[in-house]
Structure 1
């Protein structure tokens, strides 16, 4: 969290206030794997540098991508910037983001719902998976849930970054903001997902390349 001491204190108060807010939708009323009337389902898959088949390689692509996903590094700060979160993702913890939307700034509250750490079976294949998701709180511009995870397919060594989002526009009291979101919100959503995929590929490759560089020799 950057800025002056006064700004940091204000953000801490904003984050603390999130604990009193309910979700702005009822997850139990929806199957978030499929579209519903008035709701969007977005699913993105970004290949990352592969590893040899088998469990994740220590310090390899999967572990590197896992760290990036844990720290929310895939979010493009030109669109969404993490303001405050108390530690690593854990169910029930709150997350305060700042959305940047055509020159405006919005504080967005979310609650972490679940952390996935294990294996999945799909079409007879097994993948090692780590990820987490969050759900929107009252006052957010959207309703819904976003899942972000990294997978490694054990049979081939393929590593992937996966985003799955179930969302719709929330009730926005401010008429100017509401009109702006109707006109540009969906475009900004999709741009955020695409940029998140590109950032994950770029950051993962850069981190792996940095590990391969020999340490600089100290002058005698």
Structure 2
């Protein structure tokens, strides 16, 4: 277990846990990534299309980029994030709260890549990637991109990941991860895609799909903005940096 790893009665001081991420390092090397010991995933979801050509002002691509930038696509019943919205996106530390089966795990990631390019001569791409930090349940990288195929007008949300459970998990957490982790991971990808498509469709119809920004914690915010705390959260088992 990481030196930060601990069980917490009640919710932890998330702001302090977030501050501790500044001294954490990425917990894997890309040279280690290979099947079958790593999961390597690519998930593509069609969003509302636009006319062929560059992204349309206020259109599907722009709306999706804004929602992806603010981590609004994440389903708060599975993963929510605490971060400083004033910090540059590249290099931003995010404290993730992963929630499943009555257990809440607090794990750090760092944004280590931002994509803003025309790819293959035609595809307009914007997105970002984070990598897992010491103490995370997993090791790996997740990349979230919004792609417009300018020749056809197709708009896609593309999630690319490589991951494995952290080898330093204790026996109980490791067993739980083997039983539920991969299933929860795949459900997370599915829910991210469904939320983003729903929200983009609502924006294009002129509706506000989400409430305003969730209450701030000092200068930090929880994302997505429909994150809410429930009284039953106090009954969960809370683990800080379990890896």
Do Structure 1 and Structure 2 share a fold, with TM-score over 0.5? yes
Distance 1:21 1:172 in 2: 15
Instruction: Describe how 1:123-162 pairs up with structure 2 within 5 A.
Output: 126-162=122-158
Gaps (5+ residues) in structure 1? 1-6, 213-220
Take 2:180 and 2:11, find their aligned partners in 1: how far apart are those partners?
30
Structure 2: stretches of 5+ with no match in the other structure: 1-9, 209-243
Is the 8 Å Cα contact of residues 62 and 152 (structure 1) preserved in structure 2?
yes
User: Does the aligned pair in 2 maintain the 1:49–1:159 contact within 8 Å?
Assistant: yes
Question: Contact 1:65 / 1:150 at 8 angstroms: preserved in 2?
Answer: yes
Q: In the alignment, what sits opposite 2:221?
A: none
Q: Which residue in the other structure is 1:14 paired with?
A: 17
Normalising by structure 1, what TM-score? 0.84
- Does residue 36 of the first structure (1) align with residue 35 of the second (2)? yes
- Give the 4+ runs in structure 1 shifted more than 6 A: none
Structure 1 counterpart of 2:46: 47
Q: How many residues align?
A: 199
Residues of 2 paired with 1:8 and 1:70: CA distance?
27
* 2:211 aligned residue: none
SS in 2 for 1:74: coil
Q: Which deviates more, 167-176 or 183-192?
A: 167-176
How far the C-alpha of 1:194 sits from its partner, in A, is: 0.9
CA distance in 2: counterparts of 1:101 and 1:84, whole angstroms? 21
Matches of 2:125 and 2:149 in 1, distance apart?
A: 9
Shift in CA distance, 67/164, structure 1 to aligned 2, threshold 3 Å: same
TM-score, with structure 2 as normaliser:
0.77
- Structure possessing the higher radius of gyration over alpha carbons: 1
Secondary structure of the corresponding residue to residue 122 of structure 2: strand
Q: Distance in 2 between matches of 1:127 and 1:93?
A: 26
Q: Which residue of 2 aligns with 1:207?
A: 203
Secondary structure of 2:143's aligned partner: strand
Q: Larger RCO: Structure 1 or Structure 2 (Cα < 8 Å, ≥ 6 residues apart)?
A: 2
Bigger share in helix? 1
SS at match of 1:98: strand
Q: CA RMSD in A?
A: 2.1
SS of equivalent to 1:210: coil
- Alpha-carbon contact 1:131-1:148 (below 8 Å) kept: yes
**2: CA distance, partners of 1:133 / 1:117:** 12
Kept in 2, the 8 Å contact 1:89–1:132? The answer is no
**What SS does the corresponding residue of 2:205 show, helix, strand or coil?**
helix
